[in-house]
Amino acid sequence: MTTEPRTARGQETKRRILEAAEKVFAEHGYQGASVSKITTAAGVGQGTFYLYYPTKHEVFVELVDDLNQRVRQAMSTGSQRGTTRLESEREGFREFFRFAAEHPAIYRVVREAEFVAPEAMRRHYTRIVDGYVQGLTTARAAGEIDPDLDTRVAAWALMGVGEMIGMRWILWEGSDGEVPDSVLDQMTRFIRQGLGIARPTESAAEEHS
Amino acid sequence: MTTEPRTARGQETKRRILEAAEKVFAEHGYQGASVSKITTAAGVGQGTFYLYYPTKHEVFVELVDDLNQRVRQAMSTGSQRGTTRLESEREGFREFFRFAAEHPAIYRVVREAEFVAPEAMRRHYTRIVDGYVQGLTTARAAGEIDPDLDTRVAAWALMGVGEMIGMRWILWEGSDGEVPDSVLDQMTRFIRQGLGIARPTESAAEEHS
Amino acid sequence: MTTEPRTARGQETKRRILEAAEKVFAEHGYQGASVSKITTAAGVGQGTFYLYYPTKHEVFVELVDDLNQRVRQAMSTGSQRGTTRLESEREGFREFFRFAAEHPAIYRVVREAEFVAPEAMRRHYTRIVDGYVQGLTTARAAGEIDPDLDTRVAAWALMGVGEMIGMRWILWEGSDGEVPDSVLDQMTRFIRQGLGIARPTESAAEEHS
Amino acid sequence: MTTEPRTARGQETKRRILEAAEKVFAEHGYQGASVSKITTAAGVGQGTFYLYYPTKHEVFVELVDDLNQRVRQAMSTGSQRGTTRLESEREGFREFFRFAAEHPAIYRVVREAEFVAPEAMRRHYTRIVDGYVQGLTTARAAGEIDPDLDTRVAAWALMGVGEMIGMRWILWEGSDGEVPDSVLDQMTRFIRQGLGIARPTESAAEEHS
DNA sequence: AATGAATGAGAGTTCATTCAT
DNA sequence: TATGAATGAACTCTCATTCAT
């Protein structure tokens, strides 16, 4: 739905607009953001915006999709660091929180977007949940988690836990917030038990005080 | 911050404006709602609005607080129906979902509000979480739940689970959605385990197929 | 489709806007006219315009209808001055030209409007033609004109003659143009013969030098 | 005022732009047409337009002149088919209507142009009228028409009749409208009488039922 | 010759808010 | 208490035109 530039110069311009959009949306929210704020931030003329995006709504959608891709990438990277299911979850969340802390936009803007671009939002959440479902299904097959758990419901529950904790400790605690280890520990404990994962052996350090 | 009417007629007018505001915000979101839409829906003149509310923002805050009160009331009622901690949680959520299904506004609008009225939002979430913390603390003292769990973190986690499941099954599944019992069961199971509540005796019916 | 003011003050304002619109449309044409030019000319704020007219298009339609009413009134008045069919036609045209000379807007704007508000234009022309048809039908019944003439076709033909002559001699000859008597005479002669009206007796003065 | 291409390739390009302009102006009117729509329709880059036309206004003028030439050609051809003055008029109009039916653009666009390019319009009308004047003058010299008629006034009257009938029966009756023979007959009758042409002998078929 | 990129002025329209009645 | 009138700033979006390649 967006127009692809045909020259290198154009691509550069479009990229700058998208970056500016992220900054502006993050600072003012969807409604508070205006095309003119975006173009000013990007250092281009107002009309230039419409060369690449038909509407303000459309940049927003592209931005959400872009952020979604990046956050999933981050989570996936974190997840692969873990050797057990639990470690995977924990590291996935850690990366998620880190990403969120570096891009508070994703929280604020994405949450606000439910009203303004529902499809984009659903795509966003669904994609993340799909990742969880896959991981959980594999884990269940391997006997690592409660065999009676519905992986889809569990996945949405995990999503919710992560989102809420993130909102509370990252967004609310000032802009450079970070989820403290103690909270991450408690959260991991809750999730471990919720998923029915056996308690790690004493040697395994669950509690990184 | 809002002006209290001095006559009965005035009270009636203010009430009608608030009701209209709920309807209009629910339908159009915060930005899409206009004062004129609200006054039209309320059947009063445009100027009348400003007799009771100094700004559009202020009705919104009052509305959020009002909804918050009602949702907490509903949850509390449900909660008291339960005889064990687990039943309390389950019934609390059930009422929460029921309320949400009847007032999809609360989800949409409240979620959107994060940006537009952050203080109101924090108050909203904090109040609900406070209720949870209280319940959980009592339960922990009674030995009903995992003694090592940080009740505050757990409360936020519960909040997140409820919100996300509600969003997914109530808002997304069409407007008259309802969370199916099977999902509520799975969710309850996840929470029971997460909180470290002992499995109910066989006689207790956890699985309402 | 326009909003009626509920107070005297409002009516006055709406009237001023319509008057300003006539002036501005006359000067700049439909496209060249802007709402802001109109409101400036009317001495009101830009937003005030939208209190009474939903769009620029809508004032235009109201204006065309208004002009139409006035021009038909003028023609009718002139027409009634004549004692014979021919005199009626002649005097009707004379008034038409006089009106057009005083309101060059009607020509320019109305002609331009075919593209921008076709319905309004058709209404305009049809109403005028209807007047002609009525007059011609009566005259035909009275044996005053060619009995084999289709009054509808004749009416459109008359319309065309008047419009074109008016455009040529009023609009083109400078803004305060007036159709010279000699032209009106020639035109009347053409029409008299075209309609098959018997030549007036010598005593009757057809040629008003 | 337009730039003449120096190569065959350039000529081809300019021609394509003019053709595209006709289509686009016909569809959207003068203001609704944009240079970018024209260049897109022509399949050339936006900048290319300005190689051949200094402004949007200028293509329009060229287009009007072009259409004028074609319509006069068509009328002339029809006219020459007639053996008497009356037949000439009738056949001229027939071709005019045929052309208009095939190019509704000419009506709409040309009429709209009065405001946007008055000089072009006057040239357009004047040229057609000049043709009439010439024909009528010849006919008058040959004693075919009313010797007291001012040929110039009569020519403008004829113009008006044709335009109005065409507008009514071609533009309004759906896009593939055609002036019915009965209307053409009536119109011819009106004109014949108006011009003071003697009634054709019985053998001549005036009424093509 | 041809093009896509870029621009900024200006368009129509909305709306929270103020004010006179 | 209640109201409709009025406003102007701000918004999104369009477009004729210029320019570097």
Give the residue among A100, A149, A158, A83 at the shortest CA–CA distance from A128: A158
Average of per-residue pLDDT across A92-117: 85
The predicted structure's pLDDT at residue A208: 47
Give the residue among C208, C207, C137, C132 at the shortest CA–CA distance from C163: C132
Q: How far apart are CA C145 and CA C132, in angstroms?
A: 13
Q: Are C206 and C189 in contact (CB under 8 A)?
A: yes
**Shortest CA gap A28–chain B (Å):** 8
Amino acid type, B48 = T
Amino acid type, C72 = R
> What are the tens digits of pLDDT across the range B151-199?
999 999 999 999 999 999 998 876 567 899 999 999 999 999 999 998 7
Q: Are A64 and A120 in contact (CB under 8 A)?
A: yes
Those residues with Cβ within 8 angstroms of residue D208's Cβ, 6 or more apart along the chain or in another chain: D181, D185
Cα-Cα-Cα-Cα dihedral sign, residues C99, C101, C103, C105:
positive
A46 CB below 7 A from strand F atoms: yes
**Of B201-205, C98-102, D61-65, D85-89, the least confident:** B201-205
The predicted structure's pLDDT at residue D132: 94
Nearest CA in chain D to C183: D153
Average pLDDT, chain A: 90
**Which of D86, D130, D168 to mutate against chain C (most C CBs within 10 Å)?**
D168
Q: How far apart are CA C137 and CA B193, in angstroms?
A: 94
The pTM of the full predicted model, rounded to 2 decimals, is 0.86
Helix, strand, coil percentages, rounded to 5, for chain B: 75, 0, 25
Average of per-residue pLDDT across B57-67: 93
Which nucleotides of strand E lie under 7 Å from a protein CB?
Answer: 1-20
Question: Helices B151-166 and B85-102, interaxial angle, to 10°?
Answer: 40
E-assigned strand segments in chain B: none
The predicted structure's pLDDT at residue A206: 46
User: How many Å from the N-terminal Cα to the C-terminal Cα in chain B?
Assistant: 49
Which nucleotides of strand F lie under 7 Å from a protein CB?
Answer: 1-20
The predicted structure's pLDDT at residue A133: 96
The predicted structure's pLDDT at residue D174: 65
The predicted structure's pLDDT at residue D150: 97
Q: Are A159 and A129 in contact (CB under 8 A)?
A: yes
Residue A46: CB atoms within 10 Å: 12
Percentage above 70 pLDDT, chain B: 94
Q: By CB neighbour count within 10 A (0-12 exposed, 13-18 middle, 19+ buried), where does D28 fall?
A: middle
> What are the tens digits of pLDDT across the range D12-49?
999 999 999 999 998 898 989 999 999 999 999 999 99
D200 secondary structure, DSSP code = P
Tokens representing D29 are: 């009117």
Residue A8: CB atoms within 10 Å: 8
The predicted structure's pLDDT at residue C202: 46
Residue D183 predicted with pLDDT over 50: yes
- Sorted by where each starts, the structural domains of chain C and their CATH numbers stand as 1-54 (1.10.10.60), 56-195 (1.10.357.10)
CB contact residues (below 8 A), chain A span 116-135, against chain B:
116, 122, 125
Q: Which of residues B105 and D165 earns the better pLDDT score?
A: D165
Tokens representing B178 are: 């309802």
CB contact residues (below 8 A), chain D span 46-105, against chain C:
none
pLDDT-based confidence at residue B5 (cuts at 50, 70, 90): very high
pLDDT-based confidence at residue D110 (cuts at 50, 70, 90): confident
The predicted structure's pLDDT at residue D198: 81
Residue D108 predicted with pLDDT over 90: no
The predicted structure's pLDDT at residue A200: 65
Q: Smallest CA–C1' separation from C9: which nucleotide?
A: F5
Residue numbers in A near B29 (CB within 8 A): 115-116
Q: How far apart are CA D171 and CA D112, in angstroms?
A: 14
Residue A36 predicted with pLDDT over 60: yes
The predicted structure's pLDDT at residue B204: 44
Instruction: Go through D104-130 and write b for each residue having 16 or more CB atoms within 10 A of its CB, e for each that does not.
Output: bbbbbbbbbbbbbbeebbeebbbebbe
D82 secondary structure, DSSP code = -
Instruction: Report helix, strand or coil for A105.
Output: helix
Those residues with Cβ within 8 angstroms of residue A98's Cβ, 6 or more apart along the chain or in another chain: A74, A178
E-assigned strand segments in chain D: none
Q: How far apart are CA B53 and CA A79, in angstroms?
A: 50
pLDDT-based confidence at residue A204 (cuts at 50, 70, 90): very low
B5 CB below 7 A from strand F atoms: yes
Give the residue among C191, C193, C157, C125 at the shortest CA–CA distance from D186: C157
pLDDT-based confidence at residue C115 (cuts at 50, 70, 90): confident
Residue C21 predicted with pLDDT over 90: yes
> What are the tens digits of pLDDT across the range B86-101?
999 999 999 999 999 9
Residue D208 predicted with pLDDT over 60: no
Those residues with Cβ within 8 angstroms of residue C122's Cβ, 6 or more apart along the chain or in another chain: D172
Q: How far apart are CA B56 and CA B49, in angstroms?
A: 9
Contact A165 B146 (CB under 8 A): no
Residue numbers in C near D161 (CB within 8 A): 157, 160-161
Instruction: Report helix, strand or coil for C30.
Output: helix
**Which of D112, D146, D185, D209 to mutate against chain C (most C CBs within 10 Å)?**
D112
Q: How far apart are CA C136 and CA C146, in angstroms?
A: 10
> What are the tens digits of pLDDT across the range A6-29?
999 999 999 999 999 999 998 898
Identify the residues numbered 81 to 100 in chain B whose C-beta atom is closer than 7 Å to any atom of strand F: none
Residue C202 φ then ψ, to 5°:
-55, -40
Q: How far apart are CA B162 and CA B98, in angstroms?
A: 12
